[in-house]
């Protein structure tokens, strides 16, 4: 049946939020103040009042589908009108006695068939909603993780207790390993999630062959994490128990990884003949279109030499090394090659190592050799991601910051290197491509738009939007706008700009958040929020310039909040990132001090009341700034900090610092243990009691150094928590941080 236009539905979605805000306003109609629960994920009112609502859109072939709580409907790409496909009740009647609680996550795997994939706690079910019947179902193993389902074969790979299994389309269970343990792991992410690795299983296109990782970490040192609240029975010891983490620190023995290939039909496994896997990384696994070859990038322990290798699936033998890449500092492969859907002999490769920015290169693969045909994208910008392929136009659809260094827009490029901008609005765009790549659902926001928190535009990837559109927010197709829930609050003023880095040349982006009810004639305490490390940024063109909820909370309490993306952070090219090589924290601090100079130039900033806060790498930066420039920072709160890079893990630490043996001066310079005596201001260090990333050894060693030096930091821990606090602990964390600044800076 036909419903009203989607924009009407969005208005209805926004109504409860607006009404609640109006009911809580003062009688004179003034806007409300935030609570911390409003601003922080895990807060009791976060998803009601401050989380920007969205639509759970997906694609059924080239049809856009809105997945709501209790119904699914197609969206007309020209008018925005919806046509309902089915309801939750209708699906549940089909799959009974199984039951789905909502439809947000259903999938439409077959473009030409009226089949929807519904996943419950016990079953994976394909329902023909038109015929109102179940056409196929598959059991889900209790305790399974890392589930990887292939829509063509309907085979499912999963991990349980570190062993790997496959449930085939006929519900037969295949056991691929039996010796899985904390030491030996199958089908899981390896190399501590570096090099773009996020999972451990990889189906070929038709889902008949499964590549998987096997990781042996029996030779790796165990970090002695402690469970302070163990389960025990009457009569048993109540003592805390050990829960060791395998944690290879810089320069130490690392784990060994191998790659297996399982043939579902033959029930056989072949391992790639990579030779001794010691001190090597195997990354970016990819399949040829026909599934006869598998490709991976091999990287040496020094991470300065990578090569792309091709292996035969039947024998596991290496067929050829296609090419290699070297860099005096480091090579960091993060993207597998991708073969063109319309040409089995051509693939796309991403690298930042050729011209200093991440770009796309087209290769031809024939007779065991690879030839570069051309560079498809070029310029002083980064390709941020590849969304997929427009098969009809034979173009690659990708996201980049070509239009704005702190933005993200969507473009396409043909096989001759001709680029076309598809999203012509400022902001940060997250696109999802339709099955054939002809359309894009573009979920985006823009920091300069104070009215709408999120917009969703349906873009035509074949006939792109004209660039001279009279209204910047209108595309060729429907644009759906969701009102920003912060419109009912007193939102402080935010400014974004640039200053020069310590090199006097490079532009650095900052975000300045002014106190609520700002008075330019007053002097305000100021807190610098810092991260500063690679693979992250804080300032972008998304909603409210990417501001954190805690920054808004502090601005409401009368603080100026400042954030600067220094050299070493992401999306600005290789030279920008590698400026910190072998001396992490040094140039970053110099850049942050340029930010301090800017703050001191502002008449409303009280230069005697400047604080700093950061987490993880930002915790390292906070502690380093407090002990390197003690006369500048009166108060600091460092969360989960690195203290000495010799205690950090092999993959990340050695990429940016080399080993302690190779770079003794760099490790000495960047260690904060020797700076403990410099501490003058009030410093609070917070850490998770079972942090597996920045292990507690960092924090505790610094506390010991401060005791020996006669300085007095404060310490707080979250027992049982990891690197980040979640849920209500996250609210408590931000309350605790705020209290510290209120007590000693305000």
Write out the DSSP string of 451-508.
SEEEEEEEEESSSPPPTT-SSTT--SS-EEEEE-GGGGB-PPPEEEEEEE-TTSS-EE
Query: 302 phi and psi, to 5 degrees?
Result: -70, -15
Which residues share a beta bridge with 226?
242
**Nearest to residue 19, comparing CAs of 549, 453, 11?**
11
Q: What is the pLDDT of residue 50?
A: 82
pLDDT of res. 49: 79
106, exposed or middle or buried, with CB in 10 Å at 0-12, 13-18, 19+?
Answer: buried
CB-based contact 381:357 (threshold 8 Å): yes
Our answer to whether residue 152 is catalytic in this structure is no
Beta-strand ranges (E) seen in 63-155 are 63-67, 71-75, 81-87, 115-119, 123-128, 133-139, 145-149
Residues, the chain: 746
- Give the tens place of pLDDT for each residue, 419-453: 999 998 899 999 999 999 999 999 999 999 988 99
* Residues 589, 568: Cα–Cα separation, whole Å: 11
d(CA 65, CA 398): 22
Write phi, then psi, for 481 (nearest 5 degrees).
Answer: -115, 130
Tokens of 666: 């760099």
Q: What is the pLDDT of residue 231?
A: 83
Four-residue CA torsion sign, 698, 702, 703, 708: positive
Q: What is the pTM of this model?
A: 0.93
The yes-or-no answer on residue 723 being catalytic is yes
pLDDT the model gives residue 52: 86
288, 445, 616, 624: the catalytic one is: 616
Q: Cβ(333)–Cβ(282) under 8 Å?
A: no
Is there a catalytic annotation at residue 254? no
Q: Which of 488, 591, 691, 721 is catalytic?
A: 691
DSSP bridge partners of 500: 507
pLDDT score recorded for residue 424:
83
Which structure tokens are listed for 269?
């496994």
* Calpha distance 165→672 (Å, rounded): 46
Return the DSSP state at 582: T
Q: Which fold has domain 492-744?
A: Rossmann fold (3.40.50)
Residues 709, 677: Cα–Cα separation, whole Å: 5
Burial 329-342 (b: 16+ CB within 10 A, else e): ebbbbbbbbbbbee
List, as own/partner pairs, every contact residues 20-29 make where C-beta atoms lie below 8 angstroms and the sequence separation is at least 24, other chains included: 20/48, 20/49, 21/49, 21/485, 21/488, 21/489, 22/488, 25/488
Q: Which structure tokens are listed for 584?
A: 């992490």
Contact 490, 514 (CB under 8 A): no
What does the pLDDT look like over 50-103, one tens digit per residue?
Answer: 888 889 999 999 999 999 999 999 999 888 889 999 999 999 999 999 999 999
Q: Hey, what are 537's tokens?
A: 């940024």
Distance CA 511, CA 169 (A): 52
Instruction: Locate 321 and state its tokens.
Output: 């090394």
Question: Which stretches of the chain score pLDDT less than 50?
Answer: 1-28, 467-477
CB atoms within 10 A of CB 235: 5
Catalytic residue (choose from 174, 305, 537, 723): 723
Q: Quick one: which of 140, 287, 124 has its CA closest to 207?
A: 287
Encode 340-404 in three state secondary structure: ECCEEEEEEEEECCCCCCCEEEEEEEECCEEEEEEECCCCCCCEEEEEEEECCCCEEEEEECCCC
| C-alpha pair distances (Å), 220 with each of 212, 242, 251, 422 | 21, 16, 12, 48
Q: Which two tokens stand for residue 494?
A: 């935010």
Question: Contact, 617 vs 536, CB < 8 A?
Answer: yes
């Amino acid at each position: 049946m036909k419903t009203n236009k989607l924009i009407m539905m969005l208005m209805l979605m926004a109504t409860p939020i607006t009404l609640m805000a109006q009911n809580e306003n003062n009688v004179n109609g003034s806007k409300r103040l935030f609570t911390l629960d409003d601003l922080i994920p895990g807060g009791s009112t976060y998803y009601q009042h401050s989380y920007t609502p969205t639509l759970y859109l997906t694609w059924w072939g080239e049809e856009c589908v809105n997945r709501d709580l209790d119904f699914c409907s197609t969206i007309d790409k020209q008018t925005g009108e919806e046509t309902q496909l089915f309801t939750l009740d209708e699906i549940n009647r089909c799959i009974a006695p199984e039951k789905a609680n909502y439809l947000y996550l259903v999938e439409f795997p077959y473009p030409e068939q009226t089949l929807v994939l519904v996943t419950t706690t016990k079953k994976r079910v394909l329902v023909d909603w038109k015929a109102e019947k179940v056409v196929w179902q598959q059991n889900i193993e209790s305790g399974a993780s890392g589930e990887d389902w292939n829509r063509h074969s309907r085979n499912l790979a999963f991990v349980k207790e570190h062993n790997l299994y496959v449930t085939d389309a006929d519900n037969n269970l295949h056991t691929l390993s039996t010796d899985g343990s904390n030491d030996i792991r199958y089908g899981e992410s390896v190399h501590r999630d570096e090099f773009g690795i996020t999972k451990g299983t990889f189906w070929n296109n038709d889902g008949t062959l499964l590549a998987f990782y096997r990781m042996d970490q029996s030779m790796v040192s165990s970090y002695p994490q402690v469970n302070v609240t163990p389960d025990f029975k009457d009569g048993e010891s109540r003592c805390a128990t050990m829960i060791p983490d395998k944690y290879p620190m810089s320069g130490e023995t690392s784990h060994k990884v191998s790659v297996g290939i399982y043939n579902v039909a033959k029930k056989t496994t072949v391992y790639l003949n990579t030779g001794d896997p010691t001190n090597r990384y195997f990354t970016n696994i990819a399949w040829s279109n026909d599934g006869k070859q598998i490709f991976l990038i091999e990287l040496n322990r020094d991470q300065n030499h990578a090569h792309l290798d091709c292996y035969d699936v039947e024998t596991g033998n290496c067929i050829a090394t296609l090419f290699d890449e070297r860099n005096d500092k480091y090579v960091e492969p993060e993207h597998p090659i991708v073969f063109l859907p319309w040409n089995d002999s051509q693939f796309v490769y991403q690298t930042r190592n050729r011209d200093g920015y991440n770009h796309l290169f087209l290769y031809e693969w024939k007779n065991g050799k690879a030839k570069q045909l051309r560079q498809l994208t070029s310029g002083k910008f980064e390709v941020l991601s590849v969304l997929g392929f427009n098969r009809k136009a034979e173009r690659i659809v990708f996201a980049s910051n070509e239009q704005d260094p702190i933005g993200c827009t969507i473009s396409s490029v043909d096989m001759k290197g001709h680029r076309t901008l598809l999203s012509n609005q400022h902001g940060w765009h997250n696109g999802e491509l339709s099955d054939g790549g002809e359309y894009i659902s573009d979920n985006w926001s823009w920091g300069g738009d104070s009215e709408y928190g999120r917009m969703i535009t349906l873009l035509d990837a074949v006939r792109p939007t004209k660039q001279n559109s009279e209204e910047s927010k209108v595309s060729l197709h429907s644009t759906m706008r969701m009102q920003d829930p912060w419109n009912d609050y007193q939102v402080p003023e935010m400014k974004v700009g640039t200053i020069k880095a310590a090199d006097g040349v490079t532009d650095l982006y900052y975000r300045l958040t002014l106190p609520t009810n700002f008075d330019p004639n007053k002097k305000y305490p100021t807190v610098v929020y810092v991260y500063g490390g690679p693979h992250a940024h804080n300032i972008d063109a998304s909603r409210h310039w990417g501001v954190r909820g805690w920054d808004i909370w502090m601005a409401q309490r009368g603080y100026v909040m400042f954030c600067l993306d220094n050299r070493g952070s992401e999306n600005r090219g290789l030279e920008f990132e590698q400026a910190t090589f072998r001396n992490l924290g040094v140039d970053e601090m110099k850049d942050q001090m340029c930010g301090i100079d800017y703050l001191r130039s502002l008449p409303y900033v009280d230069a005697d009341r400047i604080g700093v806060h950061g987490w993880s790498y930002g915790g390292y930066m906070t502690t380093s700034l407090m002990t390197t420039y003690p006369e500048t920072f009166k108060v600091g709160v460092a969360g989960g900090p690195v203290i000495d890079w010799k205690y950090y893990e092999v993959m990340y630490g050695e990429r940016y610092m080399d080993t302690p043996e190779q770079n003794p001066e760099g490790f000495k310079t960047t260690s904060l243990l020797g700076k403990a005596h410099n501490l003058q201001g009030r410093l609070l260090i917070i850490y998770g009691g079972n942090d597996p990333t920045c292990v507690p050894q960092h924090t505790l060693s610094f506390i010991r150094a401060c005791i020996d030096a006669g300085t007095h930091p404060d310490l707080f821990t979250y027992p049982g928590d990891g690197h980040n606090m979640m849920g209500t602990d996250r609210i408590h964390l931000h309350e605790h941080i705020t209290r510290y600044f209120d007590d000693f800076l305000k």
